[in-house]
Amino acid sequence: MDAVKDLEYLREDPCIVIDEVSMRYRVPSSEAPAADDTSSGTARLLRRVMAKPNLVTVNALNPMSLVAVRGESIGIVGRNGSGKSTLMKLISGQVKPTKGAVYAVSTPVMLGVNAALVPELPGDHNVVLGCLAMGMSKAQIAEKFDEIVELSGLEKAIHLPMRSYSSGMASRLRFAIAASIDPEILLIDEALNTGDAQFADRSKKRMDELRGKAGCVFLVSHSLDTILEMCTRVVWIDKGDLLMDGEPKAVVNAYKDFTRHLSKGNNISAAKIRTDAMESLTVTRVMERSTGRRSMRTH
Ligand SMILES: Nc1ncnc2c1ncn2[C@@H]1O[C@H](COP(=O)(O)OP(=O)(O)OP(=O)(O)O)[C@@H](O)[C@H]1O
């Protein structure tokens, strides 16, 4: 991820600039490519299983630009597979875009996944490792250690190897480690939230504190109430396309309307809502450095 050096040239006070970013995955597919395969049933299936898989392209995100300014809490909504997590991974630098670039004023922290931990080591050793990986000094780790262990709620299990943890316990530890720093850019992907009810309460409290301190927050959630409660701006993505970007109520209502039509089988009216949303989108363009790096929004 590149740092933006000349941010003062940009409109407003950006934390993140997403410049014409797109993401394509190449994945093996078992679908038979050969149209001339006339064999049927098991013979065809066997042929497919034995054959070298053909690679297909998945367009996870089509080119899109966004500028997130300081003080914004941006919710990302969309159907399953629409590209929300991919966008978060691009912002956090976990994956590189196929095209375009993401610029950030500081390293974005994705809650719960950034800590690279070692399953063979006990939880407390992993706390130290995870904190070092996030760039904390020994003194900072010593200061935060008890807080992290307490937030994880692992109690005596903190001394056991991580490989003996349930997936919920492991994600609690990762969350507690990641939440120990106060990032300027905070990313929360609700899909990663696998803790139980008691932990959900504790993590929500810490998340609220972090949101309060962060310069800018991105939140992916299927809970539209959570989005409305927490966000100052909402982005709707569908099948890799940016459809809407704006005031939370307006975007959430349009998205709800869209899914309501889809669930009733009104595909044509749902498609119209999609087209209308896309046509009235105000597109962000990040202009070339030679013209003075600026972002502007045009219809
Ligand atoms: N590592 C990967 N390799 C190949 N394809 C991927 C990969 N990750 C995601 N995809 C594909 O990219 C598209 C977008 O996926 P993504 O996980 O970003 O969607 P999402 O909006 O977060 O979905 P959900 O709401 O179900 O979590 C999907 O078609 C998915 O199959």
CATH of the domain at 284: 3.40.50.300
**126 in a structural domain:** no
What is the pLDDT at residue 38? 65
86 lines ligand 1 (CB under 6 A): yes
Residue 214 resides in a domain: yes
Ligand 1 centre distance from Cα of residue 61 (Å): 9
Give the ligand 1 atom nearest the CA of 88.
18
Q: Residue 60 is encoded by which pair of tokens?
A: 């996870």
Ligand 1 center from residue 139 Cα (angstroms): 39
What residues make up the domain containing 68? Answer: 2-111+179-298
For the chain, how long is the longest CA-to-CA vector?
69
Give the integer Cα–Cα distance in Å for 154 and 166: 11
User: Which pLDDT belongs to residue 44?
Assistant: 74
Is the complex ipTM higher than 0.85?
Answer: yes
Q: Cβ of 33: how many Cβ atoms within 10 Å?
A: 11
Residue 253 falls inside a structural domain: yes
What the block records as the tokens of 281 is 């989108």
Residue 60 lies in a domain: yes
The two structure tokens encoding residue 218: 């991105």
| Ligand 1 contact via 85 beta carbon (within 6 Å) | yes
pLDDT at 297: 58
* Size (the chain), residues: 299
Tell me the two tokens of residue 247.
């005031």
Per the CB < 8 A criterion, the answer to whether 193 and 222 are in contact is no
Q: What is the pLDDT of residue 33?
A: 54
Chain centre distance of CA 228? 18
Q: Is residue 133 assigned to a domain?
A: no
| Residue 187 belongs to a domain | yes
- Residue 165 covered by a domain: no
Contact in structure between 7 and 290 (CB atoms under 8 Å) = no
The first and second tokens of residue 251, run together, are: 């975007």
Backbone angles phi, psi at 42, to 5 degrees: -60, -40
**Ligand 1 pocket, residue 82 CB under 6 Å:** yes
How is residue 77 written in tokens?
A: 């909504």
Query: In this structure, what token pair is assigned to residue 167?
Result: 């997936």
H-only helix segments in 134-231: 138-152, 167-178, 197-213, 224-230
Helix axes 123-133, 138-152, angle to 10 degrees: 130
Mutate to test the pocket of ligand 1, among 82, 87, 226 (most ligand atoms within 8 A of CB): 82
Q: What is the pLDDT along the chain (299 residues), one digit of tens a residue?
A: 333 434 444 556 788 999 999 999 998 877 755 556 666 778 777 777 777 777 889 999 999 999 998 889 999 999 999 999 999 999 988 899 999 999 998 888 887 655 578 999 999 999 999 998 878 899 999 999 999 999 999 999 999 999 999 988 988 898 888 888 888 898 888 755 556 777 777 777 777 787 778 788 899 988 898 899 889 999 999 999 999 999 999 999 999 999 999 999 999 999 999 999 998 887 777 765 554 445 555 55
Q: Give me the sign of the Cα torsion angle 67, 9, 216, 168.
A: positive
CA 146 to CA 46: how far, in whole Å?
56
Distance, in Å, from the CA atom of 55 to the CA atom of 38, rounded to the nearest integer, reads 22
Cα 248 to ligand 1 centre (Å): 24
Domain assignment of residue 119, yes or no:
no
Number of domains into which the chain is organized: 1
C-alpha distance from residue 9 to each of 105, 178, 280 (Å): 13, 32, 27
Please give the Cα distance from 68 to 12 (Å, whole number).
10
